[in-house]
Amino acid sequence: QVQLVESGGGLVQPGGSLRLSCVASGLPLDNYVIAWFRQSPGKEREGVSCISSSDGSTYYPDSVKGRFTVSRDNAKNTVSLQMNSLTPDDTAVYYCGIRKLTRPVPIRPLFCEPRMDYWGKGTLVTVSS
C-alpha cells in the first residue's frame, strides 16, 4: 500500500524558514500529484501547493504564493516544501497527500483541494517568538 511520511515540522520564529519533506513509498503509478495541505484549529483544511509527478508543474494559492516553494526528487520519491517568511498565521499541522491521475496532465488548481487518495499523518509547524 501507499505510505506517506512527513517530516521537518517544528518551532520557528516569525520571518524564519522551514523545509518539510514527504517521502512516498508503494506508489503503483507514475501519474499523480503530490499536494501539501495545512489545518489549524477552527479552520478548514487548506491546500498550499501541488506538484505533478509527470511534468513538475506546480500550483500555489495566493495565501502562500511567493513564500512557499514545492520541489520533487523522483529518484528518492520525495517532495519538499520550502517555507520562507513565515508568520504566526502559518502555524498548522501540515499534511501531504497524493491524488492518482489517469494520465499525465499539467497541474490544475483543483488538485490542491483536499480530495486525496492517500494521506500522511501530518507534521506540526509552529511559528512563534
> d(Cα 15, Cα 23) in Å, to the nearest integer?
26
Phi, psi of 30 (to 5 degrees): -90, -20
Alpha-carbon gap, residue 4 to 26, rounded angstroms: 9
Main-chain phi, psi angles of 88, to 5 degrees: -55, -25
**Reported confidence tier of residue 65, pLDDT bands at 50, 70, 90:** very high
pLDDT reported for residue 91: 97
The pLDDT of residue 38: 97
pLDDT of residue 102: 86
- What does the pLDDT read at residue 111? 83
Output the DSSP codes for 23-63. Answer: EEE----S-EEEEEEEE-TTS--EEEEEEETTT--EE--TT
Looking from the CA of 86 toward its CB, the CA atoms found within 13 Å total: 24
C-alpha pair distances (Å), 42 with each of 12, 57, 72: 22, 31, 31
The DSSP secondary-structure symbol of 124 reads E
For the stretch 4-43, pLDDT in tens is: 999 999 999 999 999 999 999 987 667 889 999 999 999 9
What percent of the chain has pLDDT above 90?
76
Question: Residue 7: its pLDDT value, please?
Answer: 97
